Structure 1
Amino acid sequence: MRLVGLGDSITAGAHVRNEDTFLYKLGQKYGWSVANAGVNGATSSRALERLSLIVPQKPDICLIAFGMNDHVAVRWNEPRVPLQQFQDNLTTICRTVKHTGGLPVLCTIHPIIEGDASGYYYSRHPEEWYHDPLGAQRWIDRYSMGVRDVAEASGAPLADIARYWSDRLRDGVSLADLLLTEHNCGRKDGVHLTPRGHDLYAACLSELLDSYSV
């Protein structure tokens, strides 16, 4: 079996060792060959441009994880990739993977630490640009809902990372243990995953993949 992860810096495993990434952990668990096609800063639109490089790899399973860059406001109330375009892009990616004989698996988006102008998400993206709905996390939630809609419409399996994380947070897991922070890495990041965050991705994806008896 060949597993390909198509995504952004979350998939790529920014700021952690390869052995700590969720793709590596899945490969080890199932004994599959793994290709990490995550690219820092990538959006679903950029992924369309790279599909011609993914198709020859003939993935049996292709994890599709975008949205963390698509939703970002580039000016007041304007996302980098509008929601409808984001959904159209995901639909095209799923269709292309299916045509190669692979199983596309869509992933929703984990929550962030919003912070303020002095640190974390809003130190890089002006808070006042996130107006409707109010706040970056609500924009992310809207894009996760868009992923769910595409999964339902296309029949692609859904790894609902957002919901899985929400459940773990309600159980007492701290978001500050799952995301890079000043305390665990010296960086006010609040977006990228710690090794424990990657563990949670792998656990969510494993539950889905086990249910498909892969």
Structure 2
Amino acid sequence: MKLVCVGDSLTYGYGVPSPCSWISLLREWSGWHIINSGSCGETTAEMRRRFSRNIVMMPDLIFIMGGSNDILLNVSLHEIEENILAMIISAHMANMRVILGTPPRTKMESSVFGWQKRDDVGRHNEMLTMYRQWIITQSEKAGIPYVDFYEALQAADEQDIQVYVDGIHPNIAGYKILAQTAWNILKDTDK
């Protein structure tokens, strides 16, 4: 199985050593050929512009997760959704299966690290919540599997498990949760 994972720093594995990223863990557990095409700081518009480079790799599956940087930069949900839909359409036109990911919420501590203003955290999380719901709705309508990273880290956070390194990016424990969450969905796509 060949999987290309397209996204931003959350896909890339920012904040932890490379072997601890969720993609590295998934590669180890699955034995699949997994290409990490995550790029730190990237918006969905930038992901969309480079998307054809991921298609030419001819993967069996393309995982797409973006939108966090857009939301932190106050890009409209409509624009984010258009970019995600365009990537889904491009993948389907190339006869490739798609899996979507929901970006996790942010924490107040992210403002200390300069990722967003303290006053924006609540509004950004509201946008992430609406965006998550849109991803779930689109996935269910189109029969596209999705990995709910939002819910996975939220559930861990509610159990007082420290899962963030800086309020935006997961720590080692957080990425392990992401890897397990992804594997629970992806393991059945190999059949």
Compute the TM-score of the two structures, normalised by the length of structure 2.
0.90
| Residues 195/84 of structure 1: CA separation in 2 closer, same or farther (3 Å cut) | same
What whole-Å deviation, never above 9, does each CA across 1:158-207 have from its counterpart, x for those lacking one? 1111122233334x242xx2110xxxxxxxx2111211111111111111
Cα distance in structure 1, aligned partners of 2:44 and 2:64: 9
Q: Report percent identity of matched pairs.
A: 20
Match of 1:193 in 2: 170
Cα distance in structure 2, aligned partners of 1:53 and 1:116: 32
Note the C-alpha offset of 1:116. 7.8
Tell whether 2:125 aligns with 1:148.
no
Match of 1:66 in 2: 66
Note the C-alpha offset of 1:211. 3.5
Aligned structure 1 segments of 4 or more residues deviating by more than 4 angstroms: none
Cα distance in structure 2, aligned partners of 1:20 and 1:116: 21
What whole-Å deviation, never above 9, does each CA across 1:134-155 have from its counterpart, x for those lacking one? 5322222122122222212332
Q: 2:82 aligns with which of 85, 88, 92?
A: 88
| Residues 16/168 of structure 1: CA separation in 2 closer, same or farther (3 Å cut) | closer
Cα distance in structure 2, aligned partners of 1:19 and 1:7: 18
**Secondary structure in structure 2 of the residue aligned to 1:115:** helix
**Secondary structure in structure 1 of the residue aligned to 2:56:** helix
Compute the TM-score of the two structures, normalised by the length of structure 1.
0.81
Please tell me whether Structure 1 or Structure 2 has the larger radius of gyration of its CA atoms.
1
Say if 2:48 and 2:83, in contact at 8 Å, map to a contact too.
Answer: yes
Say if 1:9 and 1:41, in contact at 8 Å, map to a contact too.
Answer: yes
Q: Which has the higher contact order (CA 8 A, sep 6+)?
A: 2
Cα distance in structure 2, aligned partners of 1:150 and 1:89: 13
Aligned residues: 191
Say if 2:72 and 2:115, in contact at 8 Å, map to a contact too.
Answer: no
Cα distance in structure 2, aligned partners of 1:125 and 1:147: 23
For structure 1, list consecutive stretches of 5 or more residues without a partner in the other structure. 74-78, 181-188
**Secondary structure in structure 2 of the residue aligned to 1:111:** coil
Say if 1:179 and 1:197, in contact at 8 Å, map to a contact too.
Answer: yes
| Residues 153/43 of structure 1: CA separation in 2 closer, same or farther (3 Å cut) | farther
Say if 2:156 and 2:163, in contact at 8 Å, map to a contact too.
Answer: no
Greater share of residues in helix? 2
Cα distance in structure 2, aligned partners of 1:143 and 1:102: 24
Say if 1:8 and 1:65, in contact at 8 Å, map to a contact too.
Answer: yes
Match of 2:179 in 1: 202
For structure 2, list consecutive stretches of 5 or more residues without a partner in the other structure. none
Match of 1:186 in 2: none
Cα distance in structure 1, aligned partners of 2:92 and 2:189: 16
| Residues 87/154 of structure 1: CA separation in 2 closer, same or farther (3 Å cut) | farther
